[in-house]
Amino acid sequence: MLKACLNGGRRRDEHLAVPVTPAELAADAARCAALGVAAVHVHPRDETGAESVRPEAVAEALTAIRAARPGLPVGVSTGAWIEPDPAARVAAVRAWPVLPDFASVNAHEEGAEAVAAALHERGVMVEAGLWTPDAIEAYRRWPVPAGRILVECMAEDPAVALADAARMLALLGVAGAPPGVPPVLLHAEGPATWVVLAEAVRRDLSTRIGLEDTLHLPDGTLTPDNAALVAAARAAGAH
């Protein structure tokens, strides 16, 4: 599947088309869904524009997106940079009045197991974010299952990102498709985004695209918006 990652931690001074408010996220999600994405991943913001896992911020974003595009799966982040205190992240998840369809949890972060468990308890599908080979070992110690694995190549150099992808996929055993391995979504950020997206297509893996990961189209030009990135990813074979 192709997922649209609409905003991440991007600021308006990085790109004017970054959606921040619930209404902007909803409009962008609807545009990307019309182009064929199967899900969207968003980072809700508070009244100051900062990323937030607070119940009201998550509820407002999810409600707006679902009103604009009913049935579109929507996920959020639980990254430690949003809320550094693991106990506060768990408390926020337990207090969400509106639940996302899925939420990402970075396995290398302090408290990841507890956050994943809280999501699982609430019936939210957990996406295990794996940034390094060491994170794979941390993930394997989780007491709850992940519904999807995110192999996230953080190196900016495309060659290094591809090598990291190959190593992590091999450690996960993806090539052999062993029983019990959840679906894998492969992606990168920055200059490596499009090279790794092409690798995901080649391997027949899910992937994602959006302003969270890159501001540029495959030819290096600045993208006008998320919809243009999605259209380019679709043209590259991501579905």
Q: In which element (H, E) is residue 232 found?
A: helix 226-235
Specify which residues 207 forms β-bridges with. 2
CA distance linking residue 200 with residue 209, whole number of Å: 12
39-43, 58-62, 140-144, 157-161: which range is least confident on average? 140-144
CA distance linking residue 31 with residue 23, whole number of Å: 12
CA distance linking residue 117 with residue 207, whole number of Å: 25
Q: Is 80 left (phi over 0), alpha (psi -120 to 50) or beta?
A: alpha
* Mean pLDDT of the region 103-129: 98
The pLDDT value recorded for residue 175 is 58
pLDDT surpasses 90 at 183: yes
The pLDDT value recorded for residue 181 is 74
Task: Judge if pTM exceeds 0.85.
Answer: yes
pLDDT surpasses 60 at 180: yes
Contact 68, 87 (CB under 8 A): no
Domain boundaries, the chain: 2-235
Q: Provide, rounded to the nearest whole percent, the portion of the chain with pLDDT above 90.
A: 96
pLDDT surpasses 80 at 179: no
The pLDDT value recorded for residue 3 is 98
CA distance linking residue 83 with residue 78, whole number of Å: 8
The mean predicted confidence, pLDDT, of the chain is 96
Which superfamily, per CATH, for 2-235? Aldolase class I (3.20.20.70)
Strand intervals (E) in 56-116:
74-77, 102-106
* Mean pLDDT of the region 177-189: 82
pLDDT surpasses 80 at 34: yes
The encoded tokens of residue 123 equal 């019936």
The pLDDT value recorded for residue 174 is 75
CA distance linking residue 83 with residue 90, whole number of Å: 10
Name the residue type at position 198.
A
Q: Provide, rounded to the nearest whole percent, the portion of the chain with pLDDT above 70.
A: 97
* Mean pLDDT of the region 169-185: 78
